[in-house]
A and B are shown apart, each in its own frame.
Chain A
Amino acid sequence: MKNSKLATTLLLLGAAYCLLPVVWVLIASSKSAGELFSTFTLAPGTHLLDNLGDLSGYRDGLYWRWMANTALYAGVGAAVSTLLSAMSGYALAKFDFPGKGLVFNVILAGVLVPGVILAIPQYLLLSGIGLTNTYWAVLLPSFISPYGIYLARIFAAAAVPSEILEASRIDGAGDWRTFARVVLPMMRTGLVTVFLFQFVAIWNNFMLPYIMLGDDKLYPLTVGLNGLLNQGASQPSMYTVVVTGALVSIVPLIALFLTLQRYWQVDLAAGGVKA
């Protein structure tokens, strides 16, 4: 009994630690610039709507453009990446062909490549073809996810029985038709997880867009907020905009989390997802 009280206390402490900054930003967004640094931290103010208005008014709604950019980068990037992962994973799981082992091992090595080594050459290569400072500079590198391919291979191996593929072939369905009509629906649960992983990774990414983009109309939220905070250092009245912007920026992902909870059960070692 004593044990269980201790366990409860520790779990609640952990939850409190993780919720503290989120609760703080919720409260801080309701304070005016003066209140932010003068009233008690956890005492709410009454200026949430004013702050949202200021945020929207900042350079003619630039913030909402960042939000739309982020949704575009994460949505399109994750969708394309998931489709490519599904195709590659399906080929690696369900076909035998010369070079299969090599391809798979190269992709596994790709999972462990630290992003640091990619930043400069990706920038130079994209700038060589005139694509830096465009949407493509952020989208193209996001399309490939070695970890996504690795996961998709496991899902394809586990979820797509070979007999069904054989039956579909005997029925005369072409390979693409079989993939689109039979394989993709069977891999659906796993692919949602691949999509979510990549979506969050792109949504949260900072370094790639920070390096690739110069025009602030193309920024995602992370780079935009980083810039706002830098302005705040010399112009403290900006801080309420920064704080409100931080709050609004985490709302979509938190909503996505709460609605799609069951897809977040990840088994890294086996690579599988138990949904």
Chain B
Amino acid sequence: MSLTTTRRSIRRAGVPYAFLAPGLLLFTLFLAAPIGYAGYLSLRKVKVSGLGLGSKSRTEVWAGLSNYARSMTDPEWLPSVYRILGYGLIVVPAMLGLALLMALLLDANRTRPALSGFARISIFLPYAVPAVVASLLWGFLYLPRVSPFGYALGKLGIGTPELLSSSWVLYAVANVAVWGGTGFNMIVLYTALKSVPTSLYESARIDGASELAIAWRIKIPIVLPSLIMTFVFSMIATLQVFAEPMTLKPLSNTISFTWTPLMKVYRDAFVRNDIHSAAATSVVIALATFLLSFGFLKLVGRRAFDQEDS
């Protein structure tokens, strides 16, 4: 009896590991190992001996931090970093501000299901549109010959700005990201708002609080945890923008191959075949992203996720 019990408890002890095994295996192969490998590659370089002919003449050796030095001193590196920071300063506040505004408006219009239903679905719709297609659609709409605004402005006798020219292109790309991301974030914030019982607002209203005061004093504090998480996820996504500028590139000659840091990684790795420098650049971007997201979470005094057991 005791033998079977022990056996059984041993068998039972293995159960959670069996359930976790496939997930952890893939996690290790496609997340953990690649991160380690990227770090390793960034510290290596190819040494060419002799004339560089034949397979024996190219060997990999330790490079120290020389790849980092090389990629950080590339004249195209800093402009792409400044560009992405400017882009982030436009996209994240505009997208989350709009998402919050729309979520609050939806919540205030809960009693009018037709209007809020239509608005909710319309604003969420861009989430179903891949960034490549979104960039393609906006790319055409930016062309003065196609843009409906260009048409309207033309009728008024005002010229249309060339949205894909160097002075506007950052805003043009940012608009694609704001358009694509607002709906999803709005749904996240709206879900958080809906969990609040209306009785809470009723009593505030009876006390004479205006809708604006209720939004500012009650609703925004309630969605703050969701807002913080959407901020972190938006920041991570923003720093890795790739699909939008890659798609707009054929329509605009102001977008270079190194327009964003990630585009530079792509060019170095797959156009120039310099995977070591590209690995170093991607490690730097990843570290910067981690520092920014954890630094921000620390600043607002929050752990990344609720970890208490329910």
Contacts and interface: CB of A to CB of B under 8 A. Distances in A.
Interface of A: 3-4, 7-8, 10-12, 14-22, 24-25, 28, 36-38, 40-42, 84-85, 87-88, 90-92, 95, 97, 100, 103-104, 106-108, 110-125, 140-141, 143-144, 146, 149-150, 154, 157-158, 175, 179, 200, 203-207, 210-211, 221-223, 225-226, 229-230, 232-233, 239, 242-243, 246, 249-250, 253-254, 256-258, 261, 264-271, 273-274
A270 B306 contact: yes
B30 A122 contact: yes
Nearest to A97: B16
B20 A103 contact: yes
Given A116-B239, A143-B30, 5 more contacts: A18-B182, A41-B147, A175-B18, A257-B127, A274-B195
Contact of A222 (B106, B132, B191): B132
A179 B98 contact: no
Contact of B133 (A42, A144, A179, A222): A222
A20 B187 CA distance: 20
Q: By DSSP majority rule, is chain A's interface helix, strand, loop, or mixed?
A: helix
A18 B275 contact: no
Contact of A11 (B102, B136, B233): B102
B34 A121 contact: yes
Nearest to B246: A226
Given A112-B293, A250-B129, A261 B146 contact: no
Interface stretch (B71-79, B164-172, B262-270): B262-270
Interface of B: 13, 15-20, 22-24, 26-27, 29-35, 37-38, 41, 98, 101-102, 105-106, 108-109, 115-116, 118-119, 121-134, 136-141, 143, 145-148, 151, 179, 182-183, 187-188, 191-192, 194-195, 211, 225-226, 228-230, 232-233, 236, 239-240, 242-243, 246-247, 250-251, 261-262, 265-266, 269-270, 275, 278-279, 282-283, 285-286, 289-290, 293, 304-307, 309-310
Nearest to B139: A229
A10 B305 contact: no
A92 B17 CA distance: 10
Contacts of B24: 88, 103
A206 B248 CA distance: 14
Given A42-B148, A121-B37, A206-B243, A97 B128 contact: no
A84 B25 CA distance: 11
